[in-house]
Structure 1
């Protein structure tokens, strides 16, 4: 039922994701309902489809955001630390912050400075979002998320919101024990697959190829070299 879960309101959208079994966690449903997607998607925000946000970037379809959050759910706990690579307009980053408050930390990192500023402005559209920024639970920074964010981990969960060229071992190294990485990977064949990388309490790493997807690529700012 992917692509058929859109609604007239934010609440209707999330209820349809639940009804179509694309979202199953009650805690995540509450988090998603508390974040109005209209603050982060400039056009047709409650459609279950990706939307352009400029700079050759998109906000993913709601069912893909739900799927990513469900995959990371065991690591989205109060006090947890989450890194969101390719955070775009800031939507899923904000949902993660809802899951780890109080006491947690979520950092959204993006190559594109205009998107970093956009995500901050989007989050400030609600009193609750502004409070998360003011208290430091949520931050957005410009940087090369492909190499993680040194000095601020380890991260309980790392989400990558665009197709990477590989699993980026720097991100795996920055996972906590235990921790989980969710990343779409573009393969040599041209296809894209979701990979879930787990690190257990002893530091043992396991990698699992999940299912085919189509994301925009994880790239530099248009016109920049990186």
Structure 2
């Protein structure tokens, strides 16, 4: 399905996503408006389409980021702890950091070293408060296999930016009760977004939402 939210500016892009009723939550609208995609997707930052960021990776189309944030919205509150698996250029980490302050924590995990390093630089360039958040570890970046999650931490919300063959059990185990995972699952040509919810009793449910096309969730040897 073709989305028509492309604009010539970040504010215009957010306006178009809002007018299309893809963005609905005021907090998410404000967070996306104050996070300029040009710092994270310099080639065509306001085009509503996936963009290559090198190393076989992409930054998702803006409407997919908006849909992910809206799905996770109730868990992206001040004080929440959030994980972004396959954090790529760092864009969603930057947006989510604005949604969980004060006192929240956002962790971005990326297995490609060059992207991991550039994400930190992108985040610092995009937000005058970035260095404080990094120094206080309210925003954390790590280069590691995201399929293993972030051992030692648990999360209210987990976003996965690449398609897994199956939902990694480690992510389910690291999900708080209540909490939600937003994840594409499947193989090329047959991928779907799933919302994996864990209720206050620890009961896990899988909800299949809509078809998508993502790069695979894999290790760095896949691109060697």
Q: Report matched runs for 1:42-81 at 5 Å.
A: 42-81=42-81
State how 1:7-22 maps to structure 2 within 5 Å: 7-22=7-22
Contact preservation (8 Å) 1:35, 1:95:
yes
Q: 2:131 and 2:48 mapped to 1: Cα distance?
A: 26
Give TM-score scaled by structure 2 length.
0.95
**Partner residue, 2:211:** 212
- Asked whether 1:100 is paired with 2:100, we answer yes
- How far the C-alpha of 1:42 sits from its partner, in A, is 2.1
* Contact 2:56–2:223 (8 Å) recurs in 1: no
- Structure 1 position 129, deviation (Å): 2.9
> Structure 2 stretches of 5 or more lacking a match?
none
CA distance in 1, matches of 2:132, 2:61: 26
Question: How far did residue 221 of structure 1 move?
Answer: 1.7
Q: Alignment length, in residue pairs?
A: 223
TM-score by length of 1: 0.94
Counterpart secondary structure, 1:127? coil
* Alpha-carbon distance, 1:222 to partner: 4.6
Q: Pairwise CA RMSD of aligned residues?
A: 1.6
Return 5+ residue gaps in structure 1 as ranges. Answer: none
Shift of 1:170: 1.1
Distance 2:42 2:91 in 1: 12
Q: CA deviation at 1:139?
A: 1.1
Report deviation, 1:123: 0.5
1:2–1:63 Cα contact (<8 Å) kept: no
CA contact (8 A) 2:55 2:223 kept: no
| Residue of structure 2 equivalent to 1:145 | 146
Q: Any conservation in 2 of the 1:41–1:53 contact (CA below 8 Å)? A: yes
